[in-house]
Structure 1
């Protein structure tokens, strides 16, 4: 689903002053998510042709009638983005750092919608089931985003091989110490998108194959 980037993205770009954090092992600015692409992932679909894309779009619209309208009552959801967490066990060796997201009213509406959508797509055969529940998170830093042109050029020049290399983790202990309870802000969530990975549309967000809106 797409987040309200207007409220959240300025905080990523202006408040997160790298300062001395850039000295921590593995930390550099290329690890940060593009603010225009902030999102919550429900799951990954592998759609091999137009028919499967159409099937996914129809499933999305059907879910609006089946349960989303009843859950949201024709209104957008007010979310709060507060605090950061990391995916693996060692804060000195992080691959993914994310912001925590919850409903402002303390309800579990967002979690219910995400879980039901996942179940529908899994049942349809368009999504593999990875977890029992969707882990709601907004990725802020990811080592898959890392750009290190010097290393890539060196690899190509010396070996002639591709520039693919293992992910290099980063030491997030200072970031966690400073921003553990950071309040990013409040936003209105009003849509779920079928987004194409590695794509960009004219707004800077992912290219969308289909979407539903709450209000």
Structure 2
């Protein structure tokens, strides 16, 4: 199978992705865990089980999905990410990025609250820095496209920065049967549709491997580049160990 055939083949799934890991304060971790426990208690029989909830220590923003099926492609992708680091810093104007997550939405063309597949928390960049963040993501995406590592359909897809909280594709039944069934999220939207999840900090961008995890619980890091450092005292919410969780993954 040629490279072009392999990358387009439905039999070759996404193996990696460029992610922006989110550094969460303790109170946000608690809120997300309470959300899961409450939803499981009040939505029994609606296709909801604990396996569809995203663990707080894997919460992230997805920049680009990738199919990297051999070592050469993984190394090429890691090199692309490292080389683009100075341009990313310039796009961010060398200022740190803090975001706020609020409410719930279904992914576009991925269901509605009565038949949801993916539920995410929309974000806003604190201090009006959404353009900086989008520019940085665009720099990364364009570099991977130029390197020939992105599917054509993905290259033409618009950037939707979001933090997935629930994904039906992670359910045990989906993994067993190979078929993803939607879940009824109407009660969840009624209760948490306007929830203030909290504020968090983006420390870096990762080339992450799907379904493989490092000791800190986050996706295996094949390569990473830093974002501008957090300003001392600018974000006092950051008190927990998540501030240091990625230092062991380098």
Q: TM-score range by the shorter chain?
A: 0.7 to 0.9
Q: Which structure 1 segments of 5+ residues have no match?
A: 153-161
Closer, same or farther in 2 for the Cα pair 1:167/1:132, shift >3 Å?
A: closer
Listed as ranges, the matches of 1:1-215 within 5 Å are: 1-7=20-26, 8-16=28-36, 17-18=38-39, 20-23=41-44, 25-65=46-86, 67-87=87-107, 88-107=110-129, 108-129=131-152, 130=154, 131-148=156-173, 163-215=176-228
- Residue by residue over 1:103-147, the C-alpha shift from the partner in whole angstroms, topping out at 9 and shown as x without a partner, is 111232222212221121112111114244211111111111112
**Contact 1:21–1:27 under 8 Å retained in 2:** no
Q: Which structure 2 segments of 5+ residues have no match?
A: 1-19, 229-250
1 CA distance for matches of 2:93 and 2:158? 23
**Contact 2:205–2:224 under 8 Å retained in 1:** yes
**Contact 1:81–1:185 under 8 Å retained in 2:** yes
**Contact 2:111–2:118 under 8 Å retained in 1:** no
Structure number having the greater strand percentage: 2
TM-score (norm 1): 0.85
2 CA distance for matches of 1:145 and 1:48? 21
How many residue pairs were aligned?
Answer: 202
**Contact 1:22–1:28 under 8 Å retained in 2:** no
Residue 99 of structure 2 aligns to a residue whose secondary structure is strand
**Contact 1:118–1:134 under 8 Å retained in 2:** no
Measure how far apart 1:9 and its partner are: 2.8
2 CA distance for matches of 1:14 and 1:178? 12
RMSD: 2.1
**Contact 1:24–1:170 under 8 Å retained in 2:** no
1 CA distance for matches of 2:68 and 2:40? 42
Residue 61 of structure 2 aligns to a residue whose secondary structure is coil
- Residue by residue over 1:26-52, the C-alpha shift from the partner in whole angstroms, topping out at 9 and shown as x without a partner, is 122221012211111111122233332
TM-score (norm 2): 0.74
Closer, same or farther in 2 for the Cα pair 1:168/1:126, shift >3 Å?
A: same
